[in-house]
Amino acid sequence: MRTALDATGSDRGRVSAREDPEEALKETHHVGRLAGLAKAIHSAERHALEGSGTGHAEADGVHLATVALGAMVTGGPTHGLVTVCRDGRPFTADDLELLRSLAARASLALSNVNLHFDMQRQAITDDLTGLASHGRFQEMLDGEMQAVRRYRYPVGLIMLEIDDFKSVNDRYGRQQGDVVLRYVAEALLKISRDVDIVARYGGEEMALILPHTDLEGTYDMAERARMAIEGLAVPHLDGRGTLQVRASMGAASSSDGNKNDLIAAADSALYVAKREGTNRTVEAVPETANVFGGE
């Protein structure tokens, strides 16, 4: 805003912007008094949105020029508009070209910011399911273990694997497998608490971190997850019927703060569940290092 004012010899103006392509533009910043200029501002901004990216208007000797910033996404709406105003002097073609140049630079900067946030999001989120990524899972479990070592409260961990997932991919194709993964992820998110972390551990394997949860509570949550998945009716991509999904669960809980032991305990319990016939939940055995066990 300040650069546009200085470059065009203007003394007032405003920025209208949006944070999401679905949002309407709204004023986010202004400089100087704009009273009485609303109609002219809207006219200039409408021309910028509907025309070549710039617009101009005049009201009672005040001249206005507007430039649109680049699109938020390819083919989508603009990031926003910058409008500048000055008394007595109409904006020339050179002024408008200067505003276009400034807008191009601002748009590039905004694109770089969006790219940065996209990369950050991709680093912590699994694109297919929307769950936490494997790296984010490790980071969050590390954080929980640090708190556990200090406060000695239990943390539960559920490792689960979708049963016979390879046969789904082999028979119906990977796109159908992707639909199964998304449905399972949604089911897990629906039953989890706000404090729980639901992650895609890898492939058809997912994990739930349950702060302040002992083995009994972890087992109960795993059973809820198993039954929620069992109750899914995943639609066939060809529209003909639905798929039933099953999953095996390994449940463990620890208050000693050893992340590797906790993962190993839950993973071992998952292996037992799969070995014993799938579609079941198994608790970690008591003798696993410092892991809470059941009878």
* Beta carbons within 8 Å of 144's beta carbon, 6+ residues apart: 155, 209, 211
Choose, from 45, 144, 161, 204, the residue flagged as catalytic.
204
Check if the beta carbon of residue 251 is closer than 8 Å to that of residue 214. Answer: no
204 is catalytic: yes
Candidates 78, 57, 67; CA nearest to 5 is 67
* Phi, then psi, of 55 in degrees rounded to 5: -150, 160
Beta pairing, strands 247-254 & 281-283 = parallel
Check if the beta carbon of residue 175 is closer than 8 Å to that of residue 115. Answer: no
Question: How remote is the C-alpha of 70 from its chain's centroid?
Answer: 23
Q: Which residues is 247 bridged to in the sheet?
A: 162
Task: Kindly state the tokens that stand for 206.
Answer: 């997912």
Q: Which residues is 122 bridged to in the sheet?
A: none
Amino acid, res. 268:
S
**Residues designated catalytic:** 204
